A and B are shown apart, each in its own frame.
Chain A
C-alpha cells in the first residue's frame, strides 16, 4: 500500500496530459501490432499484390517528399506553415501542361537537332519542360513571399498563417477561371511515353496494348524517374544546407535572425531564396505528379499539399530528412489503405496519422522540442 503511494507520488507531479499521452502511446502500439499482423497475413497470402501496393506507395511517397521539403524548409526559417505551397505544386503541373500541350516545348530538340538520338531528344525536351515549371514556381513563390508574407514578418504568426490560407484559396480559384487553368479535370499530355516492365522470373517489357501476365509485378519508367528525382533533390538539399555558404546562412537565419544580420547576412534575401528553392521542388513534384496520374485541375494541389504537410509534421517539421522519411511513410500508409481497406479511406488515413502524431509525439520523428523563448 505504501509502496503504491510512493510510486504514485512522482506521477502526480507530471504535467497534466502526461497520462493521456501514455494512453495514446499504448493505443498506438496496439494499432501498430494490428497493422503488422494484417500486413503480414496479406504478404503471405499474395506477395505479388503486396509488392505492387508498396511500389505504388513509393511513387506517391517520393512525390510527397518533393512537396514536404518546401513546407519544412519554410517552416524552419520563418516558422510559417505555407499553405499556399500545395497550390504552387498545382501551378507547376499546369505550367508543364501548357508547355507540352499548347506550345510543344518538349519537342524543341528534334526541331533544332533532327539528327539526335530519340532518347536524348526526349530527355532534353522533358528536362526543359520541368525546368520551366521549376523556374515559374520559384518566381511565383518569390512574388507571394514579397507581396503577402514579408509585410507580416513582425506581425503575430497567426496573421501570416491566415494570409497563407488566403493565398492558397486565391491560387485555387483564380486557377479555376477557364482562361487561366481549369476548374475540371483535363487530360494531361505527357512529354514522354510511359514504358512499363513486369517482373516474373526476370524483368520484361510490357508490349504496348498488351496486358502483363496475371500475378506479375509491374513498374514504369515514371516510378524510376520520380524516385531518382526525389532522392537527388534530397541529396542536393543536404549538400546545400550542410556544405554551402548560403545553406549555413539559412541555418543561422533559422536560429537567430538579428544575430544573423550582425554577421552581414541579408536575412530577407535568405528567406526569399528558401521560398524559391522549396517552390522549385514543388514545381518539379507537380510535373512528375501530373505525368504519373495524367489528369489535372485547379484544385489538384489541395490533397497532395495537405498530405505532404502531414508528412512534414510526421517527420518533424523543420527537418529535411524528416520530411523525406515522413513522406515515404505517408505514401505507404495511403497505398496500403487504398489496397487493403478501401480507396476513399486513403485520404482519411492521412489525417488520422496527423491526429495521432499531434497526440503522441507533436515534434515528429526527427523534431526537437521547441525551445522556450526567455
Chain B
C-alpha cells in the first residue's frame, strides 16, 4: 500500500470537517474521491500533504508515518499536491514556476531532462516559458500546476479539481494527461466534482458526503451504482 489513511478527523475551529475518513491508494492506481461541494475532498488532500493537521487519525506513506510531518518534508518523500485553484506563482515566469516544482531536487541535469519532458506533454507551456504565470489562461495555468508538481518527480500525485473552470475540450485534454502520467508509473489521488470523467479514468473511487465516506469500490462498478448515478451523474430515474 502506497498511501494509507486511517480514521482521519480534521476540524476547522468547531466544524468537524472530516469525520473518520479511511482509505488507501496502491502503487500504480488512480483513485478518485468524488462528492459535492463542502464534502471535505480538498481537506483530505490538504491533510495528506501536511498543510492541515488532523486532530485524530493517521496518514502513512510507503509505510512511514507522515501524520505530523511538515508539508515541505512530505514533498521530499514523493507526494506532490496540485492545489485547488492551481495556485500558480503569478509574479514568477513559467520557467521559474517549474523550477520551484523541482525545489527539493539538486541534480541539475536530471531537472533539465524533466523540464523537457514537461514541455513535451504541455507544448503550450514551452511557448510561454518566459511569460509571467499570472498572465496565463485558466487552462494553461492548470497545465503549469500539473507540470510544476511533476517536476518534483512524485510517486503519488494529489490532484484537486483539475477540471475546474476549463472548457470541455480542455477537460478531455487534462484527463488524457492524467492517464498518461499514471501510465508512466505515477500513482494518482484525484479529487473531482466532475464525477463522470473522474470515474472513467479512475481504477477505484470513494464517495464522500459531509466528511464521511459513504460508498467505495471499483470505479466501473460505482459508475453503475444507482445512488451515484442519481447524485453525481445527472441520472433522474
Residues of chain A at the chain B interface (Cβ within 8 Å) = 245, 248-249, 251-252, 255-256, 258-267
Partner of B75, one of A245, A256, A264: A264
Bin chain B's interface residue count: 20 to 34
CB distance from A229 to the nearest CB of B (A): 28
B91 touches A255 (CB 8 A): yes
- Assembly CA distance A117 to B218 (angstroms): 82
List residues of chain A with CB within 8 A of the CB of B209: none
B71 touches A262 (CB 8 A): yes
List residues of chain B with CB within 8 A of the CB of A256: 87, 89
Partner of B100, one of A258, A265, A266, A267: A265
The 7 closest A-B pairs by CB, nearest first: A264-B104, A264-B75, A261-B71, A259-B87, A263-B100, A263-B103, A264-B103
List residues of chain A with CB within 8 A of the CB of B70: 261
List residues of chain A with CB within 8 A of the CB of B90: 255
Contacts A258-B83, A262-B81 supplied; 16 other A-B pairs, CB < 8 Å: A248-B100, A251-B91, A251-B92, A251-B96, A255-B89, A255-B90, A259-B87, A260-B89, A261-B72, A262-B71, A262-B75, A262-B80, A262-B87, A263-B100, A263-B148, A264-B76
A263 touches B75 (CB 8 A): yes
Which B residues, 72 to 106, have Cβ-Cβ distances below 8 Å to chain A? Answer: 72-73, 75-76, 80-81, 83, 87, 89-92, 96, 99-101, 103-104
B51 touches A263 (CB 8 A): no
A249 touches B100 (CB 8 A): yes
Q: Is B5 an interface residue (CB 8 A)?
A: no
B49 touches A262 (CB 8 A): yes
Residue interface bits B124-159, CB-to-A below 8 A is 1, else 0: 000000000000000000000000100010000000
List residues of chain B with CB within 8 A of the CB of A258: 51, 71, 83, 87
Residues of chain B at the chain A interface (Cβ within 8 Å) = 49-51, 70-73, 75-76, 80-81, 83, 87, 89-92, 96, 99-101, 103-104, 148, 152
- In the complex, 14 of the A-B residue pairs with CB atoms within 8 angstroms, ordered by the A residue number, are A251-B91, A251-B96, A252-B100, A255-B90, A255-B91, A258-B83, A262-B49, A262-B75, A263-B101, A263-B104, A264-B75, A264-B76, A264-B152, A265-B103
- Assembly CA distance A262 to B75 (angstroms): 7
Total cross-chain contacts (CB, 8 A): 63
- Assembly CA distance A258 to B70 (angstroms): 11
B72 touches A267 (CB 8 A): yes
- Assembly CA distance A265 to B83 (angstroms): 15
- Assembly CA distance A266 to B72 (angstroms): 6
- Assembly CA distance A265 to B75 (angstroms): 9
List residues of chain A with CB within 8 A of the CB of B75: 262-264
- Assembly CA distance A256 to B88 (angstroms): 9
A255 touches B92 (CB 8 A): yes
Partner of B96, one of A248, A260, A262, A265: A248
A259 touches B83 (CB 8 A): yes
- Assembly CA distance A261 to B103 (angstroms): 10
Q: Looking at A264, A265, A267, which has the most chain B CB atoms within 10 Å of its CB?
A: A264
CB distance from B183 to the nearest CB of A (A): 24
Q: Which B residue's beta carbon lies closest to that of A255?
A: B89
Known: A262-B51, A264-B152. A252 touches B72 (CB 8 A): no
Known: A255-B92, A262-B49, A262-B71. A248 touches B83 (CB 8 A): no
List residues of chain A with CB within 8 A of the CB of B92: 248, 251-252, 255
List residues of chain A with CB within 8 A of the CB of B80: 262
A264 touches B51 (CB 8 A): no
Q: Which A residue's beta carbon lies closest to that of B106?
A: A245
Known: A248-B99, A249-B100, A252-B100. A262 touches B83 (CB 8 A): yes
A251 touches B72 (CB 8 A): no
CB distance from B99 to the nearest CB of A (A): 6
- Assembly CA distance A249 to B104 (angstroms): 11
Q: Looking at B80, B87, B89, B90, which has the most chain A CB atoms within 10 Å of its CB?
A: B89
Q: Which B residue's beta carbon lies closest to that of A267?
A: B72
- Assembly CA distance A267 to B103 (angstroms): 12
List residues of chain B with CB within 8 A of the CB of A266: 72
- Assembly CA distance A290 to B104 (angstroms): 42
List residues of chain B with CB within 8 A of the CB of A264: 72-73, 75-76, 103-104, 152
CB distance from B196 to the nearest CB of A (A): 28
